[in-house]
Structure 1
Amino acid sequence: MSVPAADDIEAFRRLVLERSGLTLSADKDYLLRTRLEPIVRHETFTDLAALLRQVRIAPASPLAQRCVDAMATHESFFFRDITPFDQLRDVLLPELSKTRAHTRTLRIWSAACSSGQEPYSLAMLLNEQPGLFGGWNLRILATDFSEPILSRARSALYSDFEARRGLSPERQARWLSPESGAFRVVPEVRSMVQFRQHNLLEGAAMLGRFDLILCRNVLIYFDATTKARTLESIATVLEPDGALILGSAETVVGLDGSFEPRAGLRGVFQVRSA
């Protein structure tokens, strides 16, 4: 078993950065083996060195894209870090139900949605507020750069472990249906979510405008320049009185002048006033 050539590793790092914005520093080389070994076995390469050599030879191939996709952290679960959802229920959604009452339309973007638990959680939460949004046009756009993970999200099928992770027994019973030893999100929730392949590095203008944007646990994997560029792009599609929700370890401070923290709310930001 040969050791991957330094040039092949560096070429792969550049490819991942270019395609996804993810920065693979030298101290994360262990991820190459843990996340690419399944592809090595599936494609019957002799070892990781042979796979990386082939990716360097053909960076535009489907195989190369599969390897880039594999480097993303697709960790997700229902109602992850419950605080943002509590803030949505108690503050942000009641506010928007008043300010959008004339159009009765609400558009939400779940960026880097991974396997779909976040947008489905949003749909569940909206359905649990009939007094606020009964009869409204509620649209949730969920995007990710990885088509394989989007395919899984569209299936809306989750294992018993995934179903129990983040969902109370009451929510499981209401929003999931047992199916062949697993659980599928009910049609009432699935119909509210549209999945679309989209790379945050490509900007957001083509997606339309939004009242709420969730971009959680994504920026932590970007370098400072990519973070700032991503935030600037997001600001152009967020309504002036809308809200951006980031992950608990993320901030806009020192990165971009487009946003400012929303007072009294954790991880919530608004477009900076002129």
Structure 2
Amino acid sequence: MKPADFDYVSNLVRERSGLILSDDKSYLVESRLAPIVRKEGYVSIEDLVGSMRQRRDQKLIDLVVDAMTTNETFFFRDKTPFDIFEQTIVPDLVSRKRGGIIKIWCAAASTGQEPYSLAMLGEALTPKLGGCKLEIIGTDISERCLEKAKSGVYTQFEVQRGLPVQMLLKHFKKEGESWKIDELLRSSIRYRTMNLLDDFRSLGRFDVIFCRNVLIYFDVATKKAVLERMAQQVEGPGYLLLGAAETVLGVTESFKPIAGSRGLYVQDPNKIGTRTAA
């Protein structure tokens, strides 16, 4: 892949999604663009990029940006956040909500395994919810991923990754070679296309935000902007859960860590929007 073509694609992806493609990712770009080249009838990646430069075809640009985003996910991924949700977050919110709605946003929800995991966990926790109900919305930049999430249909390989057998048998039905989640859980989750670079206000406000394993692909300025806009959407004092390799420290003071709970942060209403040196 020519350096100029790589620069064009990486700049486009950064502009549209915030994702940083370092110079050593040329092989990754080539491997992910190759299927688009074949499907769209181009001769080569050079031909594809040339067409993008000339036509600025939005559909083609969306396909390329979608191909570059990382959609790795599985049920109950990195079990710790779900334990924290059950043992720390739920008891606190139940005591404050007193039978109300606990609103959860799964940002970068990909193909839906995270929101469905929370829905299944919520169903199992019903006796402990004190009449509270979970309201879950999953968002992602990829419409392709969200269509799969909405369908609730997963392969044998996908349901074997992190999903306890008891939950599989309770909440899924075998359909040919695939498994489909039951209609009650599927219809309980709303999905919506959302770019993390966009304004979040149309989503409403939340008690808990799961935003795991996506900020690691952003530069500090983008992380800061995303986190501070998320802080504005949290009902204080609300919670933020990040991935194991992510942190708010040195990025923003709008959230502060909770000792002993890896990846868990609470909104600090006195520090929202505070500037922190990068």
Instruction: Give the TM-score, by structure 1 length.
Output: 0.95
Q: CA RMSD in A?
A: 1.3
Q: 2:179 aligned with 1:183, yes or no?
A: yes
For structure 1, the 5+ residue unaligned runs are none
* 2:72 corresponds to which of 67, 70, 75: 75
Matching residue of 1:229: 225
What is the 5 A alignment of 1:178-257? 178-257=174-253
Q: 2:111–2:146: 8 Å Cα contact kept in structure 1?
A: yes
Matching residue of 1:37: 34
What is the 5 A alignment of 1:7-156? 7-101=4-98, 104-133=100-129, 135-156=131-152
Q: What's the CA shift for 1:62?
A: 0.1
Q: What's the CA shift for 1:175?
A: 1.3
Q: 1:248–1:266: 8 Å Cα contact kept in structure 2?
A: yes
Q: What's the CA shift for 1:37?
A: 0.8
Instruction: Tell me the matched-pair count.
Output: 270
Q: 2:256 aligned with 1:267, yes or no?
A: no
Q: What's the CA shift for 1:273?
A: 5.0
Q: What's the CA shift for 1:7?
A: 2.7
| Stretch of structure 1 that moved more, 230-239 or 129-138 | 129-138
Paired AA for residue 139 in structure 1: E
Q: 1:213–1:243: 8 Å Cα contact kept in structure 2?
A: yes
For structure 2, the 5+ residue unaligned runs are 271-278
Paired AA for residue 219 in structure 1: L
Cα separation, 2, equivalents of 1:174 and 1:213: 27
Question: Moved runs in structure 1, 4+ residues, more than 4 A?
Answer: none
Cα separation, 2, equivalents of 1:34 and 1:73: 13
Paired AA for residue 156 in structure 2: D
Paired AA for residue 210 in structure 1: F
Matching residue of 1:161: 157
Deviations 1:143-199 (A, max 9, x none): 001111111111110000101111111111111111121001111211221000011
Q: 1:203–1:230: 8 Å Cα contact kept in structure 2?
A: no
SS of the counterpart of 1:264? coil
Q: What's the CA shift for 1:137?
A: 3.8
Paired AA for residue 195 in structure 1: Y
Paired AA for residue 188 in structure 1: L
Q: What's the CA shift for 1:58?
A: 2.8
SS of the counterpart of 1:79? coil
Question: Once the two structures are aligned, what percentage of the paired residues are identical?
Answer: 43
Matching residue of 2:273: none
Cα separation, 2, equivalents of 1:59 and 1:246: 35
Cα separation, 2, equivalents of 1:52 and 1:135: 55
Paired AA for residue 124 in structure 1: M
Q: 1:8–1:56: 8 Å Cα contact kept in structure 2?
A: no
Q: 2:159–2:179: 8 Å Cα contact kept in structure 1?
A: yes
